[in-house]
Structure 1
Amino acid sequence: MQEQLAHFQVWLSAHPQSAMWLGLAALITLSWLANFIVKRILLRGMFRLLDMPKAQCEERGMDLSFVARLANVVPALVISTGIGKVPHLPEAVAKITYNVSNAFIILTVALAIIKLLNLINTLYSRREEAKHKPIKGYIQLLTIVIYAVTLILIIAALFDRSPLILLSGLGAMMAVLMLIFQDTILSLVASVQISSNDVIRVGDWVEMPQLHADGDVIDIALHTVKIQNWDRTITTIPTRRFMTDSFKNWRGMQESGGRRMKRSIMLDQQSVHFLDKEQTQRLNKFKLLQEYLTNKQQEIDEWNIALAEQGKEPVNTRRITNLGTFRAYTLQYLKSHAGVNQNMIQMVRQLSPSADGLPLEIYCFTSTTAWVQYEGIQSDIFDHLLAILPEFGLRVYQHPSGMDVRALVRQVRQAN
């Protein structure tokens, strides 16, 4: 055996080209074998540690491809270590191969780290606190830093120079880099402020009219925030705009459990009058008005009695109005309505009259924040109030329509 080995060595010495190609073939075979073994060990060991097959990991969104990328480091290490030992290989070729292998190792490790960061972001996004404190922006920032450092290290490895030499030359380029990455820097500062101050979260209803955005936040990244509008379109807004521009976040309303209803009925001011005895007796049959009318009448009687002789003149006395009675009825109706939140403020008030009538504003909160249910409750309340207005001798004010004009013309013609 030793004689055959010695004979083979003599043959290699006599044929340097063959020796070189045999050495390269052995190195490539060894690197392939190392890659095969390491991938099998690492990947299978990882899946056994997780106690789930690869397909199940992919179904759950767990991208473990960073393990396979790390396995690619092993053959590169074998090549970088063994390339200098290949006999009769030109020094320039060996040097280039060594530098390229080192650059490949750096790139592979960087890509594996980025894959690992993406996996961490995926796993974190499934946690409940991820809705309030997303880390996607920080992951993107780390990715940019890793790419920058990787680029410097790869250039240093290819040219066989120290990375410090390259870094020392970056001082003169800082102004250019600041100009190039100004959006990233501003977005990073905005992301930190948004996260620390809890300005917006994924799932918040945000309204920014100046950018035509009105809908739910579906994604918060380093540079952009995506909002799905109610018409199902998506508006992409730079992250920094949420720190420089004004916007409305409806989260407080959603968390309070009640949504404000603030709407007015325009009344014809000419329909406001005092109630006579017959009208008072008729309205006293309303269950929601019995207590109000009794207490109000007692209060007015005491006031009028105190007037003595002056109380004999109706102009000096206090009397119940149909508008005041309707306000009291509306407030009691809100207090008895199942769709109105009874733990929040309820108010029925008059606003300043205008040429369009006397606004009677209903101010309360519904017992739900869901949009469809909220609109249904609001419509039901105003349906009832508009329908019952004539019972109080009140009229809704509206501008004359074409039908009103035609009716007036017919009356004039009939009169003539």
Structure 2
Amino acid sequence: MSRIIYQYLLKIGLRENLAIYLNLLIILIGAMIIAWFLDIIIWKILRHLSLRFARQSKTNFDNFLVANRVPRYLAHTIPLYILFECIPIAFIDFEYGGNIALKILRITGVVLVLYVVKSIFRSINDYLKTKPRFRDKPMDSYIQVFMIFAWFIGILTIFAIITDVYIWKFFTALGAGSAVILLIFKDSILGLVASIQVSINDMVRIGDWITFDKYGADGEVSEITLATVKVQNFDKTITTIPTYALISDSFKNWRGMQDSEGRRIKRALIISQKSIRFLTDEDIESLKKIELVKPYLETRSEQINNYNTSHDVNKELALNGRNLTNIGVFRKYANDYLQNHSAVNKNMTLMVRQLEPSAQGIPLEIYAFSSDKRWENYEYVMADIFDHLLAALPYFYLEIYEFPNAIKLN
């Protein structure tokens, strides 16, 4: 065919060199048109078959293959193969042009294979995300790792095709240039190592609530890739964190709290030191009207009176002997109140403790766990507890510390 076209071009008066190049151009255009028609026909056949198979199949994996255009890319391989077989015949008299065309086809074939591999990996990724077992795993990172290796081998193969050099010689040359490669791909290598460690150690999953002060992140992990981790903060902003920062810096993962039976409440009431005192008999009788502490006051008062009587304690001073204090009774009341609160988990740590005195006063800390871990409900439970305790303080003759107003100077 090429010889016939070439002879015709010479007959119409074209110079020999121009006839050669024009002949090659005509053959290439004709081959591309034929390949294009074949590609359309084969694609229509494959599309019909793949859609029919996807509808009849029980699994949805083939649906993802179709969605990620795997049949479309596979349809390109048949015309490409036909062109590859026809080029030597069409360019039988033009070996140089035939070699160039074959190299272009080989390079196209390598790129096509890479796209097929990429589409298959995407289909696997999409399919695994539908499975509860893999939904919170960083599958995007694994896919990116595989694709980096695939593109690396593909690029080396393309260079080998262009230069007519065996591919193993490129690997030999890479040994000498490894320092440059490490510098260029530093972030990718660090991300690869970090992704593997994050996955093996189960440090972060998609959907985890993490707090990373260094990067201003406080929200749920929405995506984990080879280079970055995306966190959707609670104010709906997106924070991007380098993957390797998860193993090089410290961050807080709230998954342990979410998987546990409760969410911790740890907050203190600062009691004014001036309001703390011993309770008189009249005070105790008045406090017995409070139902939660009435049994405690009756039992404890009897024990204290028996002790003071048996030891002949001089009670002219309240300091002598054993006594009840208003902060001690309030601490007992707060503990019993938490024990009776429906939203507090009684199977986890529950205590009301007194912390070290400070310049402001005596911190009385509530340490308990809310049964409801949802943020809004947790805040409501905590506010409900402290609303009640703050309102109860005056009944125990206690005052909360408030910073005094600054004295205005004239």
Q: Which residue of 2 aligns with 1:339?
A: 343
Distance (whole Å) between structure 1 residues aligned to residue 255 and residue 166 of structure 2: 53
1:212 matched to 2:216: yes
1:360 matched to 2:341: no
Contact 2:210–2:221 (CA under 8 A) maintained in structure 1: yes
1:373 matched to 2:377: yes
Distance 1:316 1:12, change over 3 A: closer
Distance (whole Å) between structure 1 residues aligned to residue 224 and residue 82 of structure 2: 43
Q: Which residue of 1 aligns with 2:280?
A: 276
Distance 1:246 1:17, change over 3 A: same
Q: Which residue of 2 aligns with 1:117?
A: 121
Q: Which residue of 2 aligns with 1:143?
A: 147
Offset at residue 23 of structure 1 (A)? 6.9
1:259 matched to 2:233: no
What does 1:273-352 align with in structure 2 at a 5 Å threshold?
Answer: 273-307=277-311, 309-310=312-313, 314=317, 315-352=319-356
Offset at residue 100 of structure 1 (A)? 0.8
Q: Which residue of 2 aligns with 1:84?
A: 88
Distance (whole Å) between structure 1 residues aligned to residue 66 and residue 91 of structure 2: 45
Distance (whole Å) between structure 1 residues aligned to residue 284 and residue 91 of structure 2: 117
Offset at residue 64 of structure 1 (A)? 3.4
Contact 1:17–1:88 (CA under 8 A) maintained in structure 2: no
Q: Which residue of 1 aligns with 2:398?
A: 394
Offset at residue 47 of structure 1 (A)? 1.4
Offset at residue 169 of structure 1 (A)? 2.7
Q: Which residue of 2 aligns with 1:200?
A: 204
Q: Which residue of 1 aligns with 2:16?
A: none
The DSSP-based 3-state class of the residue aligned with 1:237 is strand
Judge which range, 380-389 or 326-335, deviates more.
380-389
Offset at residue 13 of structure 1 (A)? 10
Distance (whole Å) between structure 1 residues aligned to residue 328 and residue 158 of structure 2: 83
Q: Which residue of 2 aligns with 1:247?
A: 251
Q: Which residue of 2 aligns with 1:163?
A: 167
Q: Which residue of 1 aligns with 2:225?
A: 221
1:186-214 deviations in Å (ceiling 9; x for gaps): 11111111001100111111111122222
The DSSP-based 3-state class of the residue aligned with 1:264 is strand
> Any gaps of 5 or more consecutive residues in structure 2?
12-22
The DSSP-based 3-state class of the residue aligned with 1:117 is helix
Distance (whole Å) between structure 2 residues aligned to residue 334 and residue 384 of structure 1: 11
CA RMSD in angstroms, aligned pairs only: 2.9
Offset at residue 348 of structure 1 (A)? 1.0
> Any gaps of 5 or more consecutive residues in structure 1?
1-8, 407-416
Distance (whole Å) between structure 1 residues aligned to residue 35 and residue 10 of structure 2: 20
The DSSP-based 3-state class of the residue aligned with 1:170 is helix
Distance 1:14 1:311, change over 3 A: closer
Offset at residue 231 of structure 1 (A)? 2.1
1:282-302 deviations in Å (ceiling 9; x for gaps): 221222112211221232133
The DSSP-based 3-state class of the residue aligned with 1:129 is coil
One-letter code aligned to 1:150: G
1:41 matched to 2:57: no
One-letter code aligned to 1:137: S
Distance (whole Å) between structure 2 residues aligned to residue 358 and residue 263 of structure 1: 13
- Using the size of structure 1 for normalisation, the TM-score is 0.86
Contact 1:66–1:115 (CA under 8 A) maintained in structure 2: yes
1:210-236 deviations in Å (ceiling 9; x for gaps): 222222111111111111222222111
Contact 2:65–2:120 (CA under 8 A) maintained in structure 1: no
Q: Which residue of 1 aligns with 2:194?
A: 190
Contact 1:261–1:366 (CA under 8 A) maintained in structure 2: yes
Contact 2:91–2:98 (CA under 8 A) maintained in structure 1: no
Count, aligned residues: 392
